[in-house]
Amino acid sequence: MRTLMVLGLATCLLVTPRTARPDAPAGGDAAPPPIFSAYRTLTWNKIVPELGSASPEIAILHVDPKTQATQLMIRTPRPIHVRKHWHTANETHTILRGTAILACDGTRATLGPGSFNYMPAKMVHEAWLPADSLTFITVDAAWDINWVDGPPTARDVGHSPPSSRR
């Protein structure tokens, strides 16, 4: 009996035509195409243009057209203190290059390549990023940045975290 069921399933799989993706939307809506992006082809924009060549840069990788969920990367040409800020949506950080220090709610963590962090929506946080760092970020809605005391200034470039702070 068990052999017959397996043979019957195998026969069904062999003769059932596969003309559409199993997760394709009903009603004929076309699924979005896949995206393949090489690092060298990404478009980078300065986050704080007033800092000139010292400004961290952002590359938006994908924005979901329905939810506005966003995947992006941020790179830093110089070490910088990213002042206290918050985002409307939940945010994750995955450190790809460099060692970042993130702080919020009295907690500070040092995160190296491959490390992950989750920040709930509207949680005030700050970071110290080294030169040549690269961070992959996801947000579950549109990405925004809301500065608590204004964006980084020239005084924040090259700034290391206070060692006495925990």
d(C-alpha 22, C-alpha 16), whole Å: 13
Exposure string over 49-70, b if 16+ CB within 10 A, otherwise e:
eebeebbbbbbeeeeeeeeebb
Q: Per residue in 88-110, pLDDT tens?
A: 999 999 999 999 999 999 899 99
Cα separation, 112 vs 133, whole angstroms = 10
Instruction: Spell out the domain ranges in the chain.
Output: 42-156
User: What's the average model confidence in pLDDT over 33-56?
Assistant: 93
Q: What pLDDT score was predicted for residue 26? A: 60
CATH class held by domain 42-156: mainly beta
What percentage of the chain carries pLDDT values higher than 90? Answer: 72
- Tens of pLDDT, residue by residue over 14-30, are 444 444 555 555 655 67
Q: Which residue(s) pair with 134 in the sheet?
A: 75, 97
Name the E strands within the chain.
45-46, 57-63, 70-76, 80-86, 91-97, 100-104, 107-111, 116-119, 125-129, 133-139, 146-147
